[in-house]
Chain A
Amino acid sequence: MTTPMTQEEFAHKRVSFGGDLAAWPDMDQTRAKAFLETPEGVGFQDQENQLDALMQHAVSQSVPAHDADAFLDGLLDIPADYVQSSAPENKSILDFLRGIGGWARAAFSPVGLVSQGVGYALVLVAGVVVGLQQQPSSLAETVDLSTSLFSSDITLYPEDQ
């Protein structure tokens, strides 16, 4: 026993399979035929057929005549008037890895290593020179931060008190 087809379901099937019931799946055909024997089905099918006929007629009416040659000529002139944009950059992860590889090869080449060594040496010398020029004014100004870490009166866990 199959459930009767509703108008809504019929409308959906009609859009999916078309107005010709012969093109519908067998199961749906049987149910659709039963629906079309009801007064509701007859009325609905009549409205649908009228809409199809009207649409068919409207489609057959050609688009108003307009100068096709002038239109096509205008389109063919476009390449002369517009510059093409370059292809979008579509960088993949492989391109990214290739970039890192290139950087690593440059960094660890003999020239790269020597340059890095010279750079480190210059920074070291500059640090020493700056350090020698800044003597502390008195020993009292030096602060040992580590003393507070080992003081006995520091309150680390107030909730325990």
Chain B
Amino acid sequence: MRQKIKELDDEALVGLVAAADRGAYAVLVQRHALRYRALAFRMVGDMALAEDLVQDAFVKLWTQASRFDAAKAKFTTWFHRIVVNRCVDEKRKRTVDQLPEGFDQADEAENAEQTLGAEDDAETIKRALEGLSDRQRTAVVLSYFDELSNAEAANVMKLNLKAYESLLVRARGKLREKLAGDRQSLFSALG
């Protein structure tokens, strides 16, 4: 029986979770939890927070599985939405909370010398991502880090494909600008 549960697809498992089947819930955890932890980490940049947010999402899966409608969306689309929304909410909350103290943001040009040394590409991208809006960052993370197709990512963000692709084009444009700006700062710091 256990073996059979493991062979079921995600949507069937959520149906069992709605009927309080802990085995089905455990299979979903084993199948997806680490992937969503990585997604949340890329959204919020803090592993402990990412784990908390994914935990919230799994609490929602357990307590509200009956709200899932397989006719409307795949399980992964539905769950992506839950995790992404949780991350965006938390990030907004933290930005608002931190504003009074961190409002005097340092001039990046002045920090160029410090960033010259050990900063690697991942760090450069991470900083560039921070400069994007929530929606743009979400689109970049879904497409490039989580490797969803444009159609899947559009579905997660509840956008039509064209609107999603336009969002991604704008996000890439902003990333290009940001990275070009970084290079400029680097060269001027080098003299």
Is chain B's binding surface mostly helix, strand, loop or mixed? helix
| Interface flag for A121 (CB, 8 Å) | no
Question: In the assembled complex, how far is the CB of residue A140 from the closest CB belonging to chain B, in whole angstroms?
Answer: 72
A58 to B18, CA, bound (A): 38
Contact B55 A74 (CB under 8 A): yes
| Interface flag for B83 (CB, 8 Å) | no
A86 to B18, CA, bound (A): 9
**Chain B 156-167, CB within 8 Å of chain A: the 1/0 string?**
000000000110
| Interface flag for B184 (CB, 8 Å) | no
| Interface flag for B64 (CB, 8 Å) | yes
Query: Residues of B contacting A51 with CB < 8 Å?
Result: 172, 175-176, 179
Query: Residues of B contacting A59 with CB < 8 Å?
Result: 144-145, 147
Contact A76 B26 (CB under 8 A): yes
**B176: which of A47, A79, A86, A87 is its contact (CB, 8 Å)?**
A47
Q: What size tier do the contact residues of chain A reach?
A: 20 to 34
| Interface flag for B71 (CB, 8 Å) | no
Q: What size tier do the contact residues of chain B reach?
A: 35 or more
9-residue interface stretch from B2-10, B96-104, B121-129: B121-129
Known: A16-B165, A47-B176, A64-B41. A82 touches B59 (CB 8 A): yes
Question: In the assembled complex, how far is the CB of residue B115 from the closest CB belonging to chain A, in whole angstroms?
Answer: 15
Q: List 12 A-B contacts (CB under 8 A).
A: A12-B166, A48-B176, A55-B144, A57-B121, A61-B120, A64-B47, A68-B34, A71-B37, A72-B33, A76-B26, A82-B63, A85-B66
Known: A16-B150, A57-B122, A88-B67. A78 touches B18 (CB 8 A): no
| Interface flag for B79 (CB, 8 Å) | no
Contact B33 A58 (CB under 8 A): no
Contact A87 B122 (CB under 8 A): no
Contact B179 A50 (CB under 8 A): yes
Question: In the assembled complex, how far is the CB of residue B34 from the closest CB belonging to chain A, in whole angstroms?
Answer: 6
Query: Residues of A contacting B37 with CB < 8 Å?
Result: 63, 66, 71
Question: In the assembled complex, how far is the CB of residue A6 from the closest CB belonging to chain B, in whole angstroms?
Answer: 12
Query: Residues of B contacting A66 with CB < 8 Å?
Result: 37, 47, 51
| Interface flag for B20 (CB, 8 Å) | yes
A118 to B166, CA, bound (A): 73
| Interface flag for A34 (CB, 8 Å) | no
**B62: which of A64, A68, A72, A78 is its contact (CB, 8 Å)?**
A78
